A and B are shown apart, each in its own frame.
Chain A
Amino acid sequence: MNLCHLMRLNFVRASLVLTGLALSACATHVDVKGNFPPALTHQLPLNTVVVFNPDFASHRFESTEGPEVSISVGQIQVELFTGLAASLFEQSSSTRTMPSDTEADLILIPSVEDVQISMPNESQLKVFEVWIKYNLQVFNSHSEPIADWIMTAYGKTPTRFLKSDTEALHQASMVALRDAGAHFITGFARVPEIQQWLRNHRPIVTASKGSADL
């Protein structure tokens, strides 16, 4: 291997490293992390199991249109829905697969239908926006479907509040996840199919009425 060949090889390596650095500088990767407060609500006298499928638990939104953006929301969604179920139901547990035989009154399976983001350079608005569309499937203890609840969540952050795209998208995602929590707590007992099931289900109680009516 002569000197010329070595120099050429080093030049190619350096170019690849620089290209990689330049490309990663344009990309925005957000790993959403944070905490949610416990929800202030009446507990429904129900025992529930929340099924977090691997797709849901490791969900990552990726957009390659325009600047590359990826938002990882899997882990924080699991934390959010675990906390929400603990706040809304008297007993709740979680699992990774649909239980075949369960003591629970209801089985909930959340999934992400769609995630959309809007950046100021696309929308010409001075806000970063995040929409998350969930499908919350509700089954009874015999694994018979009760409801498919499409639940949307929205979060935004004005550009001037923040220093970077990553920080702005992180905050907008957190606002969207809190919004999902608000929608879940205030809307669960209002979904017609769930409302019907609650009416027919024996231990259900007027205690659930208060928060649901607000």
Chain B
Amino acid sequence: MKSLAITAALILFFTISACTTTTVDEYRENSTSLVLASGERVVVLGRRHYADYETEPDFIDCIGDKLNADKEISVLPEREFVDLLYPWFEPRTAPLGLKRLAKMLDEPIIAQRFKEQGLHYMIWIDGSTETTDRGGSVSCAIGPGGGGCFGFTTWEKTSTYEAIIWDLQKLSESGRVKVEARGSSYMIAVILPIPIVAQVQNQACDGIGLQLRTFFIGHRSSEES
């Protein structure tokens, strides 16, 4: 009974400890909400041109889901957009700035494809989640009489992402959101390994997704969520 209480207390302690700190900064061109007319859509894209990292596709999907949570903001899935515009949004060809995008949209077949899809805003997400620190060790052994693990390990993850909103009609930047989330995860092993994982990337997605929603439907949505 006593050992059960100690185990429960340990789990509770580590669950509380495995929390994430999230910082969100935003910059807006002006205080008015971004308008999406009926049938207009937003596309969220990840930057993939860097040599050492690329923005995770599941993170892009997560932001799309956050924006589209109450069906007020229609989001065109990234994969579908990239295929529809192939080969203009591959890592080699994707526009890094608005000037290049404007030149791309001078091309009637590309502009027509944007129009057909009802695209009004493009949101670029740049960043990644990395393991920034690691310590401790867990060793496991197995023998004829059974097996088990013993030890303690901890690792820290940092998610850093920046979202930039482009207005495709005005060909201007509408705003930026930057999020940094840090969290430490633990694994304690006494016969059985018990991982207590900080959901760093999910917190970053929540932070950036909800903040991006406020650009479109004001602060109401984030308060409701």
B90 at the interface (CB under 8 A from A): yes
Total count of chain A residues near the partner, CB < 8 A: 24
Give the distance in Å from the alpha carbon of A158 to the alpha carbon of B53 in the complex.
Answer: 7
Contact with B along A178-214 (1 / 0, CB 8 A): 1101110110000000000000000000000011001
Chain A residues near B90 (CB-CB < 8 A) = 178-179, 182
Bound-state Cα–Cα, A178 to B56, Å? 18
Instruction: Report the minimum CB–CB distance from A173 to chain B (whole Å).
Output: 15
* Contact B87 A182, beta carbon cutoff 8 Å: yes
A182-B92 CB under 8 A given contacts A40-B113, A214-B103: yes
> Are B107 and A214 in touch, CB under 8 angstroms?
yes
| Interface membership of chain B positions 74-100, coded 1 if the CB is closer than 8 angstroms to chain A and 0 otherwise | 000000000111111011110000000
Bound-state Cα–Cα, A53 to B44, Å: 41
Q: Main SS of chain B's interface residues?
A: loop
Known A127-B52, A161-B57; contact A211-B107, beta-carbon cutoff 8 A:
yes
Is A181 a contact partner of B87 (Cβ separation < 8 A)?
A: yes
Name the CB-closest residue of A to B129.
Answer: A160
Q: How far is the CA of A37 from the CA of B51 in the complex (A)?
A: 25
Return the contact of B86 from the options A39, A42, A175 (Cβ within 8 A).
A39
A36–B103 alpha-carbon span in the complex (Å) = 25
Q: Does B19 reach chain A (CB closer than 8 Å)? A: no
Interface residues on B, range: 20 to 34
Q: Please state if B54 and A182 are interface contacts (CB–CB under 8 Å).
A: no
In the complex, how many residue pairs between chain A and chain B have their CB atoms under 8 Å apart? 56
Chain B CB within 10 A, most for which of A36, A125, A126, A158: A158
Tell whether B109 is near chain A: CB-to-CB under 8 Å: yes
A170 at the interface (CB under 8 A from B): no
Does B62 reach chain A (CB closer than 8 Å)?
A: no
B104, CB-defined interface residue at 8 Å:
yes
- What does the 1/0 interface line of B39-62 toward A look like (CB < 8 Å)? 000000000000111101100000
The reply on B110 being an interface residue by CB < 8 A is yes
B82 to chain A, nearest CB (A): 8
Q: Determine the residue in chain A with the shortest Cβ distance to B108.
A: A210
The chain B residue with its CB closest to the CB of A129 is B51
Contacts of A182 in B (CB 8 A): 86-87, 90, 92-93
Cα–Cα distance between A82 and B92 once the two chains are bound (Å):
21
Interface SS majority for chain A: mixed
The answer to whether A40 and B85 touch (CB under 8 A), given A127-B52, A161-B57, A210-B107, is yes
Smallest CB separation, B56 vs chain A (Å): 7
- CA gap between A172 and B107 in the complex, in Å: 30
Q: Is A41 an interface residue (CB 8 A)?
A: yes
The answer to whether A178 and B86 have CB atoms under 8 Å apart is: yes
How many Å from the CB of A158 to the closest CB on chain B? 6
Given A40-B109, A210-B107, A214-B107: A185 and B87 interface contact (C-beta under 8 Å) = yes
CB < 8 Å: which of A41, A125, A178, A183 contacts B109?
A41
Most buried by A among B52, B88, B109: B88
Compute how far the CA of A38 lies from the CA of B93 in the bound complex, rounded to whole angstroms. Answer: 16
Residue in B53, B54, B103, B110 whose beta carbon sits within 8 Å of that of A40 in the complex: B110
Contact A39 B87 (CB under 8 A): yes
Distance, CA A158 to CA B51, complexed state (A): 10
Inter-chain contacts of A125 with B (CB < 8 A):
52
The 10 A-B pairs at the shortest CB distance, nearest first, are namely A182-B87, A37-B83, A182-B90, A37-B86, A182-B92, A185-B87, A210-B107, A182-B93, A179-B92, A181-B87
Given contacts A179-B92, A186-B87, A211-B107, 19 further A-B contacts (CB under 8 A): A36-B86, A37-B83, A38-B86, A39-B86, A40-B84, A40-B110, A41-B87, A41-B109, A127-B52, A156-B54, A178-B86, A179-B90, A179-B91, A181-B87, A182-B92, A182-B93, A186-B92, A186-B93, A210-B108
Report 30 cross-chain contacts, Cβ distance below 8 Å, ordered by A residue. Answer: A36-B86, A37-B84, A38-B86, A39-B86, A39-B87, A40-B85, A40-B109, A40-B110, A40-B113, A41-B87, A41-B109, A156-B51, A158-B54, A158-B56, A175-B91, A178-B87, A178-B90, A179-B91, A179-B92, A181-B87, A182-B86, A182-B93, A183-B92, A185-B87, A186-B92, A210-B109, A211-B107, A211-B109, A214-B88, A214-B104
